Amino acid sequence: MQKLHPFLTSAEDSAFCALLAVSEMEEESLIAECENCYQILKPEFFSANAVWSLSQVLALFGGTAEEKCAKTMELFDGLKAAGCRYGTDYELPTLGVLAMNIPSTQEIVKEMKETDEWLSKQKGFGMFGSVSRKQRLMYAGLLLQPESAAKTLQTAAIQSTIAVIVAEETAMMAAVAASTAAAASAAND
């Protein structure tokens, strides 16, 4: 994955790589599936990094890349048509999980809109809350997931948390290495 997209694949993708590694698909097939989904979805969204993460999630599900991407875009467009703007940054991988685990796009759009409206009236989720409207819509979808998808979402949430920790540790190690190099350089002068 690093060879294919060196600027998009970073430490935060290590969690997705681990999730892909424990799947039943062959490595080459997984990477090809990620790339196929990426090429289909890239023209639809601004953030290449978010599309790459979404593509990694979609690779975990059965079906062709075209079918999975079409189902994801159907949900995204359905939400947009209903007046709900789903986030296109770190929310995108969750959109993929939602799209792959719903029987009816129209029904989930209606339920997500209702749940989002309900959440908007809850403390911390309203106009002056710390959760953005796009995040709130993502949470509405997560709340509506069938039990079968809960394990996938839990794994994705755990992996996202691990990715954040890995990124923070990597940044800290880089800072320590830089300060050590600077101190050594200053000592040699």
Question: In the prediction, which pLDDT does 28 show?
Answer: 77
Q: pLDDT confidence of 182, banded at 50, 70, 90?
A: low
Question: In the prediction, which pLDDT does 160 show?
Answer: 54
Measure the CA dihedral 164/166/172/178, to 10°: -120
Contact 55, 34 (CB under 8 A): yes
10 Å CB burial of residue 180 (0-12, 13-18, 19+) is exposed
Question: What confidence tens digit (pLDDT) does each residue in 61-107 have?
Answer: 888 999 999 999 999 999 999 999 998 887 888 888 888 888 788 88
Q: pLDDT confidence of 123, banded at 50, 70, 90?
A: confident
Residue 41 has which token pair?
Answer: 């979805």
| Distant-in-sequence, close-in-space partners of 30: CB < 8 Å, separation ≥ 6 | 20, 23, 59
pTM flag (> 0.75): no
| Distant-in-sequence, close-in-space partners of 115: CB < 8 Å, separation ≥ 6 | 140, 141, 143, 144
The CA–CA distances, whole Å, from 114 to 65, 117, 133, 143 equal 30, 5, 13, 12
| Distant-in-sequence, close-in-space partners of 156: CB < 8 Å, separation ≥ 6 | 19, 57, 93, 94, 97
Question: What confidence tens digit (pLDDT) does each residue in 26-71 have?
Answer: 777 878 888 899 999 999 998 888 888 888 888 888 889 999 999 9
| pLDDT(108) > 80 | yes
Average pLDDT of the chain, as a whole number: 75
Rounded to an integer, the average pLDDT of 4-24 is 57
What SS3 class is residue 64? coil
